[in-house]
Amino acid sequence: MGKPDYLVEEADGMIVPVELKSGRAPEVPWDSHVLQLAAYCFLVEANYGVRPVYGILQYRDKAFAIDYTDELEDDLLDLLAEMRQNMSANDVVRSHNDWAKCSKCSVNRQCYERLA
């Protein structure tokens, strides 16, 4: 897990994580970006004892305020549990059929299931 690009402390003491993205904004934020921001909200709560109500995804041309809901936290925790399970598995299978995603993956050259 990384860290947010920066934190904003609002007048009421709430801490808001902000994640900067260099590209143009999609119509709606990518799920992976939302989950990354959720991880930062989770870390803010763990480190500061204050649960963020939302976080901000700032693209080059547009910003999205993403509510940090119980449902989003549950999605994050489910993903983390799946990742932990995969780390201890002997065989991990590709989780998508997206050529573009596969071609940009950092382990593409070592992957036996690569699409690109």
What three-state secondary structure class fits 63? strand
Residue 31's alpha-carbon distances to 57, 66, 70, 89, in angstroms, are 12, 11, 16, 25
What integer is the mean pLDDT of 43-72?
Answer: 97
Which 8-state DSSP code applies to residue 13? S
64 DSSP assignment: E
| 54 contacts: CB under 8 Å, gap ≥ 6 | 16, 41, 65, 66, 67, 68
What CA–CA distance (Å, rounded) separates 91 from 77? Answer: 22
Q: In this predicted model, which residue has the larger pLDDT, 97 or 54?
A: 54
Ranges 5-14, 38-47, 93-102: which has the least confidence: 93-102
Q: Alpha-carbon distance 102 to 77, whole Å?
A: 24
pLDDT for residue 92 is more than 80: no
User: Could you give the angle at the alpha carbon of 76 between the alpha carbons of 74 and 81, nearest 5°?
Assistant: 95
What pLDDT score does 25 carry? Answer: 96
pLDDT of residue 65: 98
Give all domains of the chain, ordered by start, each with its CATH number. Answer: 6-110 (3.90.320.10)
Using one digit for the tens of pLDDT, what is the confidence trace for 18-46? 999 999 999 999 999 999 999 999 999 99
